[in-house]
A = this chain, B = another copy of it.
Amino acid sequence: MKQSKTLIPTMREVPADAEVKSHQLLLRAGFIRQNASGVYSYLPLGKKMLRKVEDIVREEMDDAGAVELLMPALQQAELWQESGRWQTYGPELMRLKDRHSREFALGATHEEVITALVRDEVKSYKRLPLTLYQIQTKFRDEKRPRFGLLRGREFVMKDAYSFHSSQESLDEVYDRLFEAYSNVFRRCGLNFRAVIADSGAMGGKDTHEFMVLSEIGEDTIAYSDTSSYAANVEMAPVVTVYEKSTDEQKPLEKVETPDAKTIEAVAAFLNVPAEQCIKTLVFKADEEMVVVLARGDHEINDIKLKNLLNAVTVEMASEEEASALFGASFGSLGPVGLPSDVKIIADNAVQSIANIVCGANEDGWHYVNANMDRDFNVSEFADLRFILEGDPSPDGQGVIQFAKGIEVGHIFKLGTRYSEAMNAVYLDENGRTQPMIMGCYGIGVSRIVAAIAEQFNDEKGFVWPADIAPFDVHLIPVNVKDEAQMEAAETLYDAIRQSGLSVLMDDRAERAGVKFADSDLIGLPVRVTAGKKAAEGIVEIKVRKTGDVVESTIENVVNVIRELQASL
């Protein structure tokens, strides 16, 4: 490709509204342009990268036995009403009416469409399992589109859906796609972890998120410093064993703690460590009030609480509701002296504290030296807190560390959530009607482009990995008015292409400084420069990543490039 024939609008300045490196550089290097908030055009270089990622995804999905199809973006409202999500999906689902006032959703995801399709076409266990995927534009009206391609409103996704007549079959395909996903992200050069995730409202069982480790990630991952264990921080169990304290129990004492409403304030005022305090929280679990105790330096994890209580919803009680129960405001609540019908549960860590500091259920007062069983009762201990850095890894290997992650993939055992709601059934070996068991599997294709961009850059611009770079070689005649340089460049342009490598040639009549700066910004792996020595048949080859420069005869350039590529 000749640069004069394509559109690579590079920019010197950093765009004001681009907060993160990938977004800034994708704009500056002319890979994308914004059309509307969260809506982008992929310019020629961006489109090339998108296709490279798509091809990798397609290869790995095909290898894993999934079959490609293409479903529409326009989805009839009736399907979403069948699944119940027309009501529950909220404003992220973009909706419109056609000329006959029929309602449609713009595909944010395709569970409904594919479930209806397979329901209509597959009737027997003999046609299962079936794994179908598509690479397609999706629409989600994000509340806060940001970071360029990382969180857009129109984006490219690979979504796959599998249908099974047994849990074992689902497990097998799930594992196969787990491998396929790992291959995709590895081939894209990404530093990622497969993370145990929350199955949340979907009601499924197993689910993994594939997270690219990055400071700008919106999710926190708890991972082992020695094993492959990784989980969304919300999902990691705490396996620390807490023994009951054997400290001597001191007499309960009520002390005035004016204006001390937080654990920090109380601990400082009483000059005790936060670990000596407990925080007393009140939740409403499906309308039942539950008192939850945690050590002063720990945070309660709603999801663990919800799972423990087997509740549909769990939320914090309001201050009014808490006051009605305790006779005191937030900041002075405590378990001592509560009515015996109030359910008190506690995180495991609480059992190892003796002579506890806790609220006295009177505004401005706390107890010191409260002790379990003597001064209050706990009906149940459980793992209720968020894991912390330094906690032992749940798999027994190493200790937990935290990292931020960008979600680029998600695989999910859906079970019969959609097949039951939409009556997607098959006849089993015994002629009985059964709901299909389903899995779903997503990859954010355009988000991968951004994640790679985020990971592979330096102060001058992009430093693309070889398999993803929009072109293999950047060929630069320094002065396009110099005949020898242009002749060398044209010869090399043909030779490099004939060797099977792709090449971008900067044939613009720009100053050398501009061309080199643009070249560094665009970040192709290898640059070939035809400068003053071109007249002697010598050109310069530079590796973007290392900055290493070698000279070569024009005839030998392809061989040198091949050697350099092999050494990277």
Contacts and interface: CB of A to CB of B under 8 A. Distances in A.
A139 interface: yes
B121 A1 contact: no
A170 interface: no
A117 interface: yes
Contacts of A47: 68-70, 134
Nearest to A110: B41
Contacts of A118: 7
B73 A154 contact: yes
A104 B68 contact: no
Contacts of A73: 73, 137, 139, 154
Contact of A36 (B36, B104, B117, B121): B104
A40 B72 contact: yes
A5 B33 CA distance: 40
Nearest to A114: B41
Contacts of A106: 96, 106
A143 B65 CA distance: 40
A134 B51 CA distance: 12
A121 B121 CA distance: 49
Given A70-B50, A73-B154, A33 B121 contact: yes
A399 interface: no
Contacts of A104: 36
A126 B36 contact: no
A72 B137 CA distance: 9
Contacts of A6: 67, 130
A121 B41 CA distance: 13
Contacts of A35: 71-72, 74-76, 113
A7 B139 contact: no
Interface string A122-135: 10001100111010
Given A65-B5, A67-B5, A130-B7, A39 B72 contact: yes
Number of copies: 2
Contact of A99 (B75, B91, B122, B508): B91
Contacts of A325: none
A328 to B, nearest CB: 41
Interface in A112-171: 113, 117-118, 120-122, 126-127, 130-132, 134, 137, 139, 141, 143, 153-154
Contacts of A508: 126
A238 interface: no
Contacts of A91: 99
Given A5-B65, A5-B130, A33-B117, A154 B94 contact: no
Given A5-B130, A35-B113, A76-B35, A69 B96 contact: no
Interface string A49-77: 01000000000000001011111111110
A216 interface: no
Interface in A233-250: none
A141 B97 CA distance: 10
A444 to B, nearest CB: 16
A95 interface: yes
A9 interface: yes
A43 interface: yes
A98 interface: yes
A308 interface: no
A171 to B, nearest CB: 18
Given A7-B130, A98-B94, A141-B98, A41 B67 contact: no
A71 B32 CA distance: 10
Contacts of A48: 68
A509 interface: yes
A68 B48 CA distance: 8
A121 B75 CA distance: 35
A113 B65 contact: no
A41 B65 contact: no
A370 B521 CA distance: 82
A132 B75 CA distance: 30
Nearest to A58: B51
A336 to B, nearest CB: 48
12 contacts: A5-B131, A33-B120, A35-B75, A35-B113, A41-B69, A41-B72, A41-B117, A46-B69, A47-B68, A47-B69, A47-B134, A95-B96
- Which 9 pairs from chain A and chain B are nearest by CB? A96-B96, A9-B121, A42-B70, A91-B99, A6-B67, A41-B71, A39-B72, A44-B67, A99-B141
Given A35-B71, A35-B75, A73-B73, 16 more contacts: A7-B69, A9-B121, A33-B121, A36-B72, A36-B74, A36-B102, A40-B72, A42-B70, A46-B69, A46-B70, A47-B70, A74-B139, A96-B96, A98-B141, A98-B153, A99-B143
